[in-house]
Every structure is written in C-alpha cells, then in structure tokens.
Amino acid sequence: MPIHCHMLRHSCGYKLANDGIETRSIQAWLGHVSITHTVRYTELSTARFDGFWRD
C-alpha cells in the first residue's frame, strides 16, 4: 500500500484528537478553513471520552 503525505496529516489529526486536543486547535494546526473537515478526526475514537463520568 503506497503511503501519501495526506495520510500523515490524517494520522496527525487522529493522534491529536485521541490525546484530547480541542477540535478548534486541531483545525488551526491542520489549516482547515471549515471545522467540518476537522470533526472527522474527533468522531472516530470514543476512547477520548473515557473518564468523563465517574460515580
């Protein structure tokens, strides 16, 4: 499977989102004009919400 530069950008977006970085910060870092392009990185991993609710 060939690796493209855009794949590295996606990996960076997923990593930042999974590390809990705010979506607006990821948007600025990746240079997205629209937040809708950035949201795709934050929608995939539910692990970033672990620990939100504690009993």
Encode pLDDT of 5-42 as tens digits.
888 888 888 889 888 899 999 999 999 999 998 988 77
Which of 4, 49, 11 is closest to 30 using CA atoms? Answer: 11
Band of the pLDDT at 2, cuts 50, 70, 90? confident
19, 28, 55 from 50: Cα distances, Å: 11, 25, 13
For the stretch 32-53, pLDDT in tens is 999 998 988 777 666 667 777 7
Q: pTM of the predicted model, to two decimals?
A: 0.70
What pLDDT was estimated at residue 44? 65
What pLDDT was estimated at residue 7? 85
Q: What is the dihedral of CA 20, 35, 33, 27, to 10 degrees?
A: 0
Asked if residue 10 lies in contact with residue 29, where contact means CB atoms within 8 angstroms, the answer is no
